[in-house]
Chains A and B, each alone.
Chain A
Amino acid sequence: MTMAAAELLKELSKDDRLNRIAISDTGFIFDPQTGQSFTLNRTGLVTLSILKRGSSIDETAEQLSHQYGITEETAVNSVEAFLLQLGRYL
């Protein structure tokens, strides 16, 4: 699981893929490569924004845990699950 998520993040960071995704603070996002649009929930929006800055899974989780007052374990689990979703769609 951890490996899969880490690899996905690596894959998504390749060729600036993540960075080219257009994010609006309404949660509306658009993938210029596939033409698909998506909705993110508020936490998804925050998480994706952190990931886009090139943060690792652990760094992202740490920041989320700090911002929302949740345990780092919960945060890591959530970020990994979120990456698996991103991997499905992006």
Chain B
Amino acid sequence: MLPQNHFQKEKNWRNWNVAVTGMNASPESPGPGFAVARSIREHRHFDGRIIGLGYDVLDAGLYSKTICNGGYLIPYPSAGRDALLERIYQVHALEGLDAIIPCLDAELQNFIGIQSELKQLGIKMLIPTREQFTLRAKDHLAEFCKSIGVDAPETKTITNPLFFDECEAQGWQYPLMVKGIFYDATVARNAYEAKSIFAKLVQSWGYPVLVQKIIPGDEYDLAAIGDGHCRMLGAVMMRKRGLTDKGKAWAGVTVVDEAIGKVAEKIIRGLAWRGPLEVEVMKGYDGKIYLIEINPRFPAWIYLSHAVGRNLPAALLQTLANEPELDLSPPKPGTFFIRHAQELIVELAEFESLFVNGGISTPIQEEPLEVSLQEHDKFKAAS
């Protein structure tokens, strides 16, 4: 099932087969995967294949023929590492992967868990260690900020919604930011709203839930790559200019702000971060910079990095390939992005293929997956 020339071709990142996760792209809250894939596809030197990995038959990126060469469904993060590894073996047997770029927080621990197996197969990933991942997690962030001398809004981990009735007496004044352990953050203006947000978050992401004090100020985001040796590669900064009601930027403009860059450098040094990351900060009206969140992946607006000549997803592949020089232009402020929705056309047969076989560039049959799996066991044993 492997492409004929997979092992013969002289490989460098330009002709890699790259799998990218997070291909969900609903207009109100798109995953980063589609934008990561698009950035790589449009890089002038990239001539390889891009394989989308998704969690739902309605993940738009899986169907995009202009960006992806194939799309596959993978098990939910809650199914655990073994289920993921088995599925990646199958996809690898069909596609011959060179690199995977995980783009969602909730799946990262599984990818960390299968990293050594993938390495044996020659599949590269630039991802953090479990320890790095944990230190920056939302429920550890305040502690971490303290350790590197960065300001952060006060945050509390809660499991009991009764907190919202009593919190004002404890110095937690509304409005408050209520956050899920992996995703979603919503402003609650009173106890009633807070409890309903709490219930929804628990339903989606389980316990605990985080409550964060709101800092009045302006929101900025920074995307970069940590090389694992305390070096920050290619930061791109963006001021949010339009927010969806989920708090996601649907418009923004590149900026260059040294102070924000310094915060990001401190983080990358403090963690020896390896992999892409997004740093969300609030520039308070008090003049201080507050760290709101560190996301262990590229943000959904990462295509903006390509637009300013600092294509970070491509730079990630170059880093994995040990390229001596990354082709990054100097930072360039003043480039806008405005996110808009567009309809992707999907044929019934494609939908059916993804639905029935869990993949799109596969023939519409059940058997090949099983056959490839057996083949792959041999392959695995040999490697």
Q: Do chains A and B touch in the complex (CB under 8 A)?
A: yes
| A interface residues, Cβ below 8 angstroms from B | 22, 24, 26-28, 30, 37
| Pairs across A and B, CB under 8 Å, 18 listed | A22-B348, A24-B352, A24-B356, A24-B364, A26-B352, A26-B356, A26-B357, A26-B364, A26-B366, A27-B356, A28-B352, A28-B355, A28-B356, A30-B348, A30-B352, A37-B351, A37-B352, A37-B355
What class of interface size applies to chain B in its complex with A?
under 10
For the complex of A and B, list the 10 residue pairs with the smallest distance between their C-beta atoms, beginning with the closest. A26-B356, A28-B352, A28-B356, A30-B348, A24-B352, A28-B355, A26-B364, A26-B352, A22-B348, A27-B356
Contacts of B351 in A (CB 8 A): 37
Provide the B322-337 mask, 1 if CB < 8 A to any CB of A, else 0. Answer: 0000000000000000
Query: Closest B-chain residue to A22, C-beta based?
Result: B348
A21 CB to nearest B CB, Å? 12
**Residues of chain B lying within 8 A (CB to CB) of residue A26:** 352, 356-357, 364, 366
In the complex, what distance in Å separates the CA atom of A26 from the CA atom of B348? Answer: 13
- Of all chain A residues, the one with the shortest Cβ separation from B366 is A26
Cα-based distance from A24 to B351 in the complex (angstroms): 12
Q: Who on chain A is nearest to B357 by CB? A: A26
Within the assembled complex, what's the spacing in Å between the Cα atoms of A27 and B366? Answer: 12
Q: How many angstroms from the CA of A76 to the CA of B356 in the assembled complex? A: 29
- Nearest CB to that of A26 among chain B residues? B356
Binding site for A on B (CB under 8 A): 348, 351-352, 355-357, 364, 366
> Which label, helix, strand, loop or mixed, suits the secondary structure of the A interface?
strand
For A29, the closest partner residue in chain B by CB is B352
* A24 cross-chain contacts in B, Cβ below 8 A: 352, 356, 364
Q: A residues within 8 A CB of B366?
A: 26
Q: What's the least CB distance linking A65 to chain B, in Å?
A: 27
Give me 16 other A-B pairs in contact (C-beta within 8 A), A28-B356, A30-B348 excluded.
Answer: A22-B348, A24-B352, A24-B356, A24-B364, A26-B352, A26-B356, A26-B357, A26-B364, A26-B366, A27-B356, A28-B352, A28-B355, A30-B352, A37-B351, A37-B352, A37-B355
The residue in chain A whose Cβ has the minimal distance to the Cβ of B364 is: A26
A37→B356 CA distance, assembly (Å):
12
Which of A28, A30, A37 lies at the interface centre, i.e. has the most chain B CB atoms within 10 A of its CB? Answer: A28
Chain B nearest CB from A39 CB (Å) reads 8
B356 closest partner in A (C-beta)? A26
Residues of B within 8 A of A28 (CB): 352, 355-356
Tell me, rounded to whole Å, the shortest Cβ–Cβ distance linking A50 to chain B: 22
| A25, chain B: closest CB distance, angstroms | 9
Distance in angstroms from A36 CB to nearest chain B CB is: 12
How long is the Cα–Cα vector from A26 to B355 in the complex, in angstroms? 10
Q: How far is the CA of A24 from the CA of B352 in the complex (A)?
A: 9
A37 to B366, CA, bound (A): 19
**Which residues of chain B are near A27, meaning CB under 8 Å?**
356
Collect the chain A residues with CB atoms within 8 Å of residue B352's CB: 24, 26, 28, 30, 37
* Chain A residues, Cβ within 8 Å of B356: 24, 26-28
Residues from chain A with a CB closer than 8 A to the CB of B364 are 24, 26
Distance in angstroms from A83 CB to nearest chain B CB is 24
Q: Within the complex, what minimum Cβ distance (angstroms) separates B244 from chain A?
A: 28
C-alpha spacing A28/B364, complex, angstroms: 11
* Complex Cα–Cα for A36 and B366 (A): 23
Residue with the highest number of chain B CB atoms closer than 10 Å, among A26, A27, A37: A26
Alpha-carbon distance A30/B351, docked complex (angstroms): 11
Q: Which residues of B contact A22 (CB under 8 A)?
A: 348
Separation of A66 and B355 alpha carbons in the complex (Å): 32
User: Which residue of the partner chain B has the closest CB to A32?
Assistant: B348
For B351, B352, B355, B366, the residue with the greatest tally of chain A CB atoms inside 10 Å of its CB is: B352
**In the assembly, what is the distance between CA of A37 and CA of B355, in Å?**
10
Provide the bound-state CA to CA distance between A16 and B34, in Å: 42
CA distance A60 to B305 in the complex (A): 62
Select from chain B the residue with minimum beta-carbon distance to A27: B356
A24 to B357, CA, bound (A): 13
> Which of chain A's residues have a CB closer than 8 A to the CB of B348?
22, 30
**List of A residues within 8 angstroms of B355 by Cβ:** 28, 37
| B92 smallest CB distance to A (angstroms) | 24
